[in-house]
Amino acid sequence: MDSEHKEEKIYPQGYEPEISPDSSNDNTRNQLLDFILKSGPSEVVDTDLFAVMAKRRSTRKFSDKPVETTKIDKIIAAADTAPTAGNYQGFEIFYVKSPEKKKLLVEACNKQPYVDAPVVLVFCKNPFRVKFDFPEYILAKFAIQDATLAAGYSQLASQALGLSSIWIGMFDEKKVMDVIGTDLIPSSVLCIGYPEQTKFPKPRRNLKDLVHVVW
């Protein structure tokens, strides 16, 4: 395989992972993640999954500190480990780097200023990847679940890396699509960065209100 082919296969234009996956091994399930696993959890702040979940708290004020590329690699790799319907991976990630486009996204997201975050990932549904012979509405349902779950994995990975995030669901779909230049419908915008301050997690419901036992 020539080097040009390798690049085309692995890197989208404008995003080159800090740690370069080994593209010569086509059997690797997830090339970026594979390399990350081999490289060790050097900058993972918290490897206790439950502690990561327990401490996560949405952030709407990010510091200006840029997010290291190795962390962005891991955040994207985490999304790529999520289960998807039939393993068809019915979602896409749009990594918005342009400051101008981030500003347009703020507008598209109901003028929420924190959308102009250090790292902005738009998760879109891609039902065209889901090749089951099922009605269209089922494929659409799978794609939204795929995209949502992947974004959730990225959100937890961000927390594990000492970052924080805000999940944006309030947006004008058409405007977001225009900004990122796609026909695919977005499911969430994940804004990530170093938090200006660490906050305590928000309370949740009582267990008796949450869990409904079915005998």
Ligand X SMILES: Cc1cc2nc3c(=O)[nH]c(=O)nc-3n(C[C@H](O)[C@H](O)[C@H](O)COP(=O)(O)O)c2cc1C
Separation CA 115–CA 190 (nearest Å): 8
Are 36 and 74 within 8 A, CB to CB? Answer: yes
- Minimum CB–partner distance for residue 188 and ligand X (Å): 7
User: Which residue has the closest beta carbon to ligand X?
Assistant: 169
Cβ proximity to ligand X: between 14 and 203 the closer is 203
Nearer to ligand X, 89 or 165 (CB): 165
CB 152 within 8 A of CB 81: no
Nearest distance in Å: CB 76, ligand X: 20
Q: How far is the CB of 41 from ligand X (least distance, A)?
A: 24
Order across the sheet with 186-193: list the strands: 91-96, 119-125, 186-193, 164-168
**Minimal distance, residue 194 CB to ligand X, in Å:** 16
Contacts with ligand X by CB under 6 A lie at 57-58, 60, 112, 166-170, 202
Nearer to ligand X by Cβ, of 86 and 152: the residue is 152
Q: Who's near 142: CB < 8 A, 6+ residues apart?
A: 84, 85, 86, 88, 90, 127, 130, 132
Residue 132 DSSP label: -
Of 34 and 196, which has the nearer Cβ to ligand X?
A: 196
